Amino acid sequence: MVCNTGISLIPRVNGQNHHFRCAGLYNGLVLLGDKETHSYWDHISGECLHGPLRGQTLELSGSLYYMTAKQALKAYPDASLAISRQSFFQKSLSQVFQWTSLRSKGFIPSFFNKTMGKADNRLPRLDIGLGVWFETKARYYPLEQLKAHGNATIDTVNGHRILVYIDPISKAPAAIHSTASEYHWDGEKLHLDTHEVLKESRLYNEQEALLPMNRPNQMFTRWYGFSYTFPNCDIYE
Amino acid sequence: MSDKESHDFFVTKSGVVIDPERMKFNVTIFKPFEVTSYQLLQKAFADGKVKEGTDVLGVALPGGRMLTLIKKQMAYHHVAQGELDNEPWLISF
């Protein structure tokens, strides 16, 4: 949708696999629907909002990585790819929706408005940034604010220390857990005072050995999507 | 339960008050991507199916595998689902 927020969930309810599709809209955000019960689910939190399974929650599997194919190939040489065989109509719609994806300019279709409640006007609705959350504590990092801080920042959310940065290749913001206090850029490499280096979407130590990247829950999103999902979230300044 | 039957509010874990009256139901325009086959990204790259600059969405699946999908395709499907290494997965976008 306009928000283009993505997340990965485990499609299992009470031990059974359910099958989902984009079935509805609420607050201008996609609602998932499952074929088995016709319940409607929040596509970010995985909570069932309406229908027989209301109150159930799909387990969050992880956040999405925004990469170019070249980046993905270099960082994850064994990665798998799934390609959809789209019809002409589907390809055309893909093109249209791709165009409206996370760009600084955008618009909200008029029929979205009927689904939207009172907006959080602290930021423009279509502002883009990274939303990070721990349990019910959430913080939004406006992309422009991150740029103003030199494309990276070290922050603490709900007691969790995180590094938030803009990937120099994909231009998408991302966050990882980190114990670093300081950082500096060297071209496309982000050096941390923990003697770690973030480059080409991966984290390395001084000996160039690959380190695991522990990522908090996060999504690259528009402000309206994040603020509707996490009311009263903080905004990084 | 019909879509319009329930007018009762629901509060999510993050405190969002859900009003079913504002929900839009039965959106059918977007067909989910039901994934039944995979290929190595490396091979797709070598075969010219994806280019260097193609934007992809990656997800680290519970089994440890990195799965990628073409972002442009997901802008239409919004939902992709499948199983890899016997682990069911779902991506919403």
What are the tens digits of pLDDT across the range B27-62? 988 999 999 999 999 999 999 999 999 999 999 987
Percent of chain A whose pLDDT exceeds 70? 95
Q: Do B40 and A62 touch (CB under 8 A)?
A: no
Answer yes or no: is pLDDT of A235 > 70: yes
**Side chain identity at A86, as an amino acid letter?**
Q
Q: How far apart are the first and last CA of chain B?
A: 27
In this prediction the ipTM stands at 0.89
Give the distance from CA A21 to its chain's centroid.
Answer: 19
Answer yes or no: is pLDDT of B3 > 60: no
Task: Indicate the residue of B19, B57, B81 with minimum beta-carbon distance to A66.
Answer: B57
- Residue A99, judged by CB atoms within 10 A of its CB (0-12, 13-18, 19+), counts as exposed
Answer yes or no: is pLDDT of A41 > 50: yes
Task: Indicate the residue of A12, A49, A79 with minimum beta-carbon distance to B41.
Answer: A79
Segment A90-118 shows an average pLDDT of 78
Question: pTM score, two decimals?
Answer: 0.90
What pLDDT digit, counting tens, does each position of A191-223 carry?
999 999 999 889 999 999 999 999 999 999 999
Length of chain B: 93
DSSP codes of every residue in chain A: --S---EEEE-EETTEE--EEEEEEETTEEEEEETTT--EEETTT-BEEESTTTT-BPEEEEEPEEEEHHHHHHH-TT-EEE-----HHHHHHHHHHHHTSS-SS----HHHHTT--S--TTS-TT-EEEEEEETTEEEEEEHHHHHHTTSEEEEEETTEEEEEEE-TTT--EEEEE---S-EEEETTEEEETTS-EEETTEEE-TT--EE---PPEEEEEEHHHHHHHSTT-EE--
Percent of chain A whose pLDDT exceeds 90? 83
Q: What is the rounded average pLDDT for all residues in chain A? A: 92
Tell me the chain A residues in contact with residue B13 when contact means C-beta distances shorter than 8 Å: 45, 47, 57, 136
Answer yes or no: is pLDDT of A1 > 50: no
- Give the pLDDT confidence score for residue A106 in this predicted structure: 67
**Side chain identity at A149, as an amino acid letter?**
H
What pLDDT digit, counting tens, does each position of A141-189 carry?
999 999 999 999 999 999 999 999 999 998 999 999 999 999 999 999 9
**How far is A70 from chain B, CA to nearest CA, in Å?**
5
Q: Do A23 and B42 touch (CB under 8 A)?
A: no
